[in-house]
Structure 1
């Protein structure tokens, strides 16, 4: 068994926002980790009102056991954008809810 971080995306209909959650799982493969995370994602939606799972799950294999400072998720994306534009387009659009 290995540790995986799985990012799932949700839509909060009443709030008009999308949420990205990264959860940790022990599994034998990427597929098993995603199945487990998607099962939890659907359960998460059942206990909240007006939240839907948008059917996007991305998994990351951890190189070590989770603990302080251990990387739990990473995603690489090819882009020709300069760093400021890249951040504005994908991470800091101005529509994020932080805090």
Structure 2
């Protein structure tokens, strides 16, 4: 529910470091009047989250203004990147480096992250 008529929903991605070599990308949704306020709220939450897990918030916050209120199938974050790489190479370079802590949904039901 929005706080006032001028507020909107934002998805904000923050990056954390756990230990010396495990990075986590985490997206939260917040209600804010603009991008600056959305990032400030998400960074406050990120600081608390990191402290609770003895992790480090590394200082990257990227915000996305939602087009609609959150609901089933609602888009909560989008980041577009220019690249000349073909799809398989693009996915390998940015999303499937081999170091992700995830399982295929067909082989295991892991809470660490699932992919197809």
* Shorter-chain TM band: over 0.9
Report 1 or 2 for greater relative contact order, CA contacts < 8 Å, sequence distance ≥ 6: 1
- Provide, for residues 29-87 of structure 1, a one-character-per-residue CA deviation record: whole Å limited to 9, x for no partner: 000000000000001111112x1001000000000000000000000000000110000
Which runs of 5 or more structure 1 residues have no equivalent in the other structure? none
Q: Which structure has the bigger radius of gyration?
A: 2
2:91 maps to which residue? 87
Deviation at 1:13, TM superposition (A): 1.1
Q: TM-score, normalised by structure 2?
A: 0.81
* RMSD between superposed Cα atoms in Å: 0.8
Within 5 Å, give how 1:68-79 maps onto structure 2: 68-79=72-83
Number of aligned residues: 97
Q: TM-score, normalised by structure 1?
A: 0.95
* 4+ long deviations beyond 6 Å: none
Which runs of 5 or more structure 2 residues have no equivalent in the other structure? 1-6, 103-109, 111-116
